[in-house]
Structure 1
Amino acid sequence: MPQSPLSTAQAARAALASRLDGIRRDAGLTGQDLAARCGWHKSKASRIARARTTPSDSDIRAWCAACGAEDQAADLIAASRTAESMYVQWQEIHRDGMRRVHESTVPLYERTTHFRVYASNVLPGMLQTAKYATGVLRSITSFQGTPDDVAEAVRARMDRSRVVYEGNHRFALLVEEAVLHYRVCDGPDLAGQLRYLREVMVRPNVSLGIIPFGARRTVWPLEAFYAFDDTRVALETLTAEVNMTAPGEVRTYLRAFAELSRMAVHGAPARDLMAKAMNAALS
């Protein structure tokens, strides 16, 4: 059974606490030693290590400095901020439909210069047609039981997608071949979506790769993720969108993207796979 957003956030906080406690142990310090070096009450280190108290940015810096691990502070601070944002984000996402979520991410899309997207479930949002997006968002609304603002959310998604045509943005997009066949909308609408893909992939700022069914896998299929420059990765799960900013985690996803890219076909072979899917959609 999938974890709830709250339990996901709690797991992230527990993982951060475990990492901090591991740093303490590696430094050969007791909790009391650490508290003394940081100038804290002796129970504070214990509460942080057991995930009973959420450490502030300054707490993490002090902890790492006391253990001689200053180089790990930035990664841990980013992980802490991510853990603290998870559950709040879910409350926001589900409160009043999806339109506001799309509108709130427009600044992120506008300031990102290099998008790297791996899609294993549906086509990337910035390349969706209105009819395809309607099918996707309608199914999400039905499954999650959220307020139905699909028409408004589709318009917001289309407006956000103008970054493909405006400004200085580059898009490296990878799609599993199966995604081309998923019937998230009616067959003719899916065919129209695939025709649009073939049109947009010739743009100089767009690189679209398809990972064929028969590709030799060096990385297993993953859940969809969006990388915004080298600073943030948004991972889409069934229960949450998890935003990661910890440098180590971001590097891992970018490394996975590079490996997935080597399995993909581009250009004419990719267009051939789209044509095959288009014929299937219309049959």
Structure 2
Amino acid sequence: MSTDYQQAREALGARLRELRLTGPVGRLTGPQLAARLGWPHSKVYKLEGGRQTAAPDDLRAWAEAVRQPDATDELLARLKGFESHIRSWRRQLAAGHRPVQDVWNIEVDRSTVIHAWEEAVIPGMLQTADYARAIFLRYADLYGSVRDTDEAVRTRILRQQWLHQSGHTFHALIWEAALHALICAPSVLIAQLDRLAGMIGMDTVQLGIIPLSASLRIPPANGFWILDSRLVIAEDWHAEIWLDDADSVSTYERAWSTLRESAVYGGDAQALITRAQRSVNPRA
């Protein structure tokens, strides 16, 4: 969990405690407030200590219980302000993968220059339909989400039209391990590698691959995307993290630039793809 996120959660907890202690009905103890709300008193202390994220209904109930309903809008604004940056997969995938792809398409369409780093998979902007389908199915199994796979695939592939519009540039960095990862059937990976090879030399795509043998200045950690130096979208197992403050964006730009120092391009990148193709299909 990000430090900024945790600090914001703790600040919200401190505000909740302040409301509990200064309400017009007088100071309430944690157990007294919990009894009014019908909660275990541990929930009150977890929320106040920033150890649990409040739901909007929790905040409304709290404000009513301490007889300060006018504080509801403020509490909800605080929650929205920090929670919007941490988009849990449980919430996002409640309606399936297609809505998540729709949101991504909106942000991509707003952008002209995109930098991406992927350490384990081929970036979505460069995926074949079959490869994308395999990825969505794997994640649907992991999260138990709605299987709207075909709709999600169509929406992701639609995003790739962005690559064919003048004035756009996609700077993609991939760790060589992603070329070998059998997250799909071997035949699907072979077709995906063929497509990736075809991207080399495309005027809107700058494809860099970091060899497994390369010296690395920083660890090849989780994938992230930078859209026009205004927004970073990074993925973790529990959530997708959206960051738009200048300091965070700058940090990710430095990380991308540092990773790029270990990458190869053009013919050298093509050689790595060819090697991956031969490892999947030795007869190639």
Q: Aligned pair in 2 of structure 1 residues 223, 95: CA closer, same or farther (>3 Å)? A: same
Alignment check: 8 A CA contact 2:86 2:240 kept: no
Q: Aligned pair in 2 of structure 1 residues 157, 89: CA closer, same or farther (>3 Å)? A: same
Cα distance, 1:243 vs structure 2:
0.5
Counterpart residue identity of residue 101, structure 1:
V
Alignment check: 8 A CA contact 1:115 1:172 kept: yes
Deviations for 1:141-183, whole angstroms, at most 9, x for unmatched residues?
0111001111111011101121111243101110000000001
Q: Aligned pair in 2 of structure 1 residues 82, 247: CA closer, same or farther (>3 Å)? A: farther
Deviations for 1:205-261, whole angstroms, at most 9, x for unmatched residues?
111001011111111111000100111110111111100111101101000101111
User: 1:154, 1:264 → 2: CA distance?
Assistant: 29
- Corresponding residue for 1:57? none
User: 1:110, 1:93 → 2: CA distance?
Assistant: 20
Unaligned runs of 5+ in 2: 12-47, 55-77
User: 2:137, 2:50 → 1: CA distance?
Assistant: 38
Unaligned runs of 5+ in 1: 1-7, 20-48, 55-78
Listed as ranges, the matches of 1:9-88 within 5 Å are 12-16=4-8, 83-86=82-85
Aligned residues: 223
User: 2:87, 2:272 → 1: CA distance?
Assistant: 40
Describe the SS at the equivalent of 1:209: strand
Alignment check: 8 A CA contact 1:82 1:245 kept: no
Listed as ranges, the matches of 1:120-139 within 5 Å are 120-139=119-138
- Corresponding residue for 2:108? 109
Deviations for 1:50-103, whole angstroms, at most 9, x for unmatched residues?
769x9xxxxxxxxxxxxxxxxxxxxxxxx9966221456645412111011111
Cα distance, 1:105 vs structure 2:
2.2
TM-score (norm 1): 0.72
Pick the structure with greater CA Rg: 2
Describe the SS at the equivalent of 1:269: helix
Alignment check: 8 A CA contact 1:13 1:51 kept: no
- Corresponding residue for 1:254? 253
Cα distance, 1:262 vs structure 2:
0.7
Cα distance, 1:194 vs structure 2:
0.6
User: 1:265, 1:82 → 2: CA distance?
Assistant: 40
Alignment check: 8 A CA contact 1:82 1:244 kept: no
Say if 2:94 is the partner of 1:95.
yes
- Corresponding residue for 1:203? 202
Quick one: higher RCO (CA 8 Å, sep 6+), 1 or 2?
1
Alignment check: 8 A CA contact 2:214 2:262 kept: yes
- Corresponding residue for 1:216? 215
* CA RMSD of superposed structures (Å): 2.7
Describe the SS at the equivalent of 2:84: helix
Listed as ranges, the matches of 1:109-258 within 5 Å are 109-258=108-257
Cα distance, 1:15 vs structure 2:
2.2
User: 2:10, 2:86 → 1: CA distance?
Assistant: 20
Q: Aligned pair in 2 of structure 1 residues 221, 82: CA closer, same or farther (>3 Å)? A: farther
User: 1:253, 1:87 → 2: CA distance?
Assistant: 16
Describe the SS at the equivalent of 1:254: helix
Q: Aligned pair in 2 of structure 1 residues 206, 81: CA closer, same or farther (>3 Å)? A: farther
Q: Aligned pair in 2 of structure 1 residues 82, 257: CA closer, same or farther (>3 Å)? A: farther
Cα distance, 1:271 vs structure 2:
0.4
User: 1:202, 1:184 → 2: CA distance?
Assistant: 27
User: 1:201, 1:16 → 2: CA distance?
Assistant: 43
Q: Aligned pair in 2 of structure 1 residues 88, 173: CA closer, same or farther (>3 Å)? A: closer
User: 2:239, 2:212 → 1: CA distance?
Assistant: 27
Q: Aligned pair in 2 of structure 1 residues 231, 177: CA closer, same or farther (>3 Å)? A: same
